[in-house]
Homo-oligomer: A and B are copies of this chain.
Amino acid sequence: MTGRLDPRESWSAIDRCSIGKALDVVRNRSTFLLMREAFYGTTRFEDFAARVGLSDPVTAARLRELVDEGLLEREDYREPGKRTRQRYRLTEKGSDLLPTLVALMQWGDRWENDGGGVELRHQGCGAKVGVELRCADGHALEAGDMELAGRRRARS
C-alpha cells in the first residue's frame, strides 16, 4: 500500500479509535508475549514465566491484568496424585487476539527474522497460516484498495 487512505482534515483519531483502545489492554511487550504463550498452549504460571523470560513478579502482575481484562481465566485443576493447582486459559476475548498475533508473526517473519523460530500450519493441508485483508463481502484487498470512513454506529 502506497496510497493514503484519506487526507483527513476534520477529525482526530485520538479519542474514538479502536486501535488505541486495544493497545490500552495489550499495552506491553510482555502482555503480547504472554498471550502468545497462551496460544502456544502454556497454562501454568511457572511455564509462562520461563518461556516468556519474565521475572515472577512481572508474570504475576501481567497475568492478573489479563484475567481482570477478561482475556484469560484462571481455573483450578488437579492432576492425579498432585495437589490442586491453577491454570490460565484463553477466553473468547483472548482467543480473538489470535489474528493480531499471527499478523505480527507474519511481519516479523518477513522483515526481522532470519528464518528460525516456529510457524503455524493449517492442520491437515500443512500450509503455512497467515492473515489476509478482506472486506465483509469476501473480496481480497489490494494495496490502496480501502478508504477511511467515520462511523455512526457499530455494525458488529
Chain A contacts to B: CB under 8 angstroms: 1-2, 4-8, 11-25, 27, 29, 32-33, 36-37, 39-43, 50-53, 89-90, 93, 95-125, 127-137, 139, 141, 143, 145-151, 153-156
Contact = CB atoms under 8 A, between A and B. Distances in A.
A125 B139 CA distance: 9
B109 A122 contact: no
A119 B129 CA distance: 25
A135 B146 contact: no
A126 to B, nearest CB: 8
- Chain copies in complex: 2
A53 to B, nearest CB: 5
Contact of A53 (B14, B114, B115, B120): B14
A interface secondary structure, majority: mixed
Nearest to A22: B108
B147 A115 contact: no
B130 A98 contact: no
Given A50-B12, A135-B128, A17 B117 contact: yes
A36 B19 contact: yes
B40 A6 contact: yes
B52 A151 contact: no
30 contacts: A2-B89, A4-B41, A6-B41, A12-B51, A14-B51, A15-B116, A16-B113, A17-B117, A18-B106, A18-B108, A18-B117, A19-B101, A21-B112, A25-B111, A27-B29, A93-B111, A96-B107, A100-B107, A109-B154, A110-B156, A117-B151, A121-B149, A122-B136, A122-B137, A123-B147, A127-B137, A127-B139, A129-B133, A129-B146, A131-B134
